[in-house]
Amino acid sequence: MERLLVFPQSFPDESLYSLAVRYHRMMANDSYRLTSQELFGTYSRTCGSILPCCLDALSRRLAGLYSVLELINRFTLLPLYQPFLDDVTYDGVKATMAANYGTGLKMSLGITASRFLKHASFRYCESCLQEDTQRCGVAYWHRIHLSPGTCVCPHHGEVLCSLTFPHGSDWRCMLLPGESVGTPLMESSDQKVAGSVAEMQVWGFEHPSSVRALLNGDIFKHRLAELGFIKSGRIREKVLRPYLIERLKLCPNTNEFQEVNNSCDWVLRIFHPRGSIVQPLKFYLLCWLLELGLSDLQSFHSPTEAGNAYVPRRNYTNKTLDDDVFEARRSAFLSNSSSKCHDKPGYQWLYRHDREWLREYVTSHPFMRSRESLIDWEARDTTLTRELLIASEQIMSISGKPQKITRSSLVRQIGQSHDFLRRPSKFPRSISFMNGLLESDHDHQIRKVRWAVKHFLLSERCATSVIFRYAGIRKPHLTEAEIRNILSTI
């Protein structure tokens, strides 16, 4: 493996792609392919990504200048996602970024499902560009500017510009900020909300452990309790939804924000994640929706430390009652013949005082709701059988060269009834009847030969190859005797 003898010195908050561009120019390479080969030992398609791969090869070429973990923490956006990942997922992402493949990386983090990727672009701040040029001698790509949802510079409060690569090219033309046409991401009137979200994002980016503490401290439940959206330990969704909808109307309707401001369902999924990964933009936007600012995040202490605010629901299991009381309640519950547990006497009492026993009973006696079918499948089956027969006759009567009777041709003739193929158990007669209508290659060729002989007035003296050519048969499934028999009967 070749060791890199030259590598640019990194700048604060610089992305790996920015380092690659400056290395590309330092070596005067004429293509990205050559630069990628020198840096990663292969053609990397993720160098311009917020989560690049091939970092182990780059670390070894740098001979220990940066470890893989240092490359990840200093030049990629993974620290922004770290607080929202469990240890297993985080270790898997690091292993993928170290390896030479990145297939499924963004999908595993939920970035693909969030639909934020279609709004991704190379963004820069005009003020940062000028400051970087004066301080460092060159402008460079800042990581925080490239994060999803960052439309306003968190340092200067200015709307970011999106660089348009010339001639329809992409990041592989190796440009730095300001070297091509840039267009503002949004109107200045929309930057207030985006600016607040950007400030919280850059703080979370620089302090992932503090964000993890916010999540472990249930900051959202604490805030919902302060706003009066929690009652008896439950979220008052009917009251919360109108509040969120009004707040979402104040959000920008451009870039990544348009993926989240049309509905507040994603907010409720954050409250009940069920194993899904929370996107950083959604987390910080939800902070703003609940009227939390950067100072609130920095000063937050979990309720267990503060000793007030959000109080979880009590466990109503009572161990002080006599066993006779439990037995009497259970017997009354079991003696009732109602199929629904909620309708049995004493359900609420058991739920409050004997929940473990009740849970075991409900698990072992699931309620199966009996639903009568609203569709007369037998009548539909009979009707479909008639339609298949009519469709077969229509195909047989088509003028011109005979068409083969197949499942597809029958389905096309009967229109919207094609769904029966997905439910064969509901249409047994139709399926059986259709299988009897299907035409084999042999039978289809017999009809084609009969048609050719009658249409072109072929005689018995015609060669077999001539008959096949007129009938449009390439691979015959007929015998010579069958052909002669057809010629003699027509």
pLDDT in tens, 391-444: 999 999 988 899 999 988 988 888 765 578 888 888 899 999 999 999 999 999
pLDDT of residue 183: 94
- The rounded distance, in Å, linking the Cα atoms of 286 and 197 is 9
Backbone torsions φ then ψ of 99, nearest 5 degrees: -80, 180
* Cβ-based burial of 29 (10 A; exposed 0-12, middle 13-18, buried ≥19): middle
pLDDT tens sequence across 204-244: 999 999 999 999 999 999 999 999 999 888 899 999 999 99
DSSP state of 159: B
For tokens 């959202």, the residue is 220
Residue 317: per-residue pLDDT: 47
Report the chain's C-alpha Rg in angstroms. 35
pLDDT value of position 110: 92
Q: In the structure encoding, which two tokens stand for residue 172, read together? A: 């592989």
DSSP 182: E
- List the chain domain ranges: 323-364, 377-439, 442-489
**Separation between Cα atoms, residue 208 and residue 204, nearest integer Å:** 5
296-303 contact pairs (CB < 8 A, 24+):
297/200, 297/203, 297/204, 297/210, 297/214, 297/219, 298/203, 298/210, 300/214, 300/217, 300/219, 300/222, 301/217, 302/213, 302/216, 302/217, 302/218, 302/222, 303/217, 303/218, 303/222
User: Tell me, what's the pLDDT at 1?
Assistant: 57
**pLDDT given at position 470:** 86
Q: For the whole model, what pTM was predicted? A: 0.63
Place of tokens 């007035």: 457
Q: What are phi and psi of 412, to 5 degrees?
A: -65, -30
Instruction: Say how many CA atoms lie within 13 Å of 70 toward its Cβ.
Output: 9
**pLDDT < 50 regions, the chain:** 306-317
At residue 442, the pLDDT reads 92
In the prediction, which pLDDT does 313 show? 45
CA distances from 457 to 306, 330, 398, 462 (A): 100, 91, 20, 10
Backbone angles phi and psi of 14, in degrees to 5:
-85, 140
pLDDT for the residue 468: 86
pLDDT (tens digit per residue) in 122-140: 999 999 999 999 999 999 9
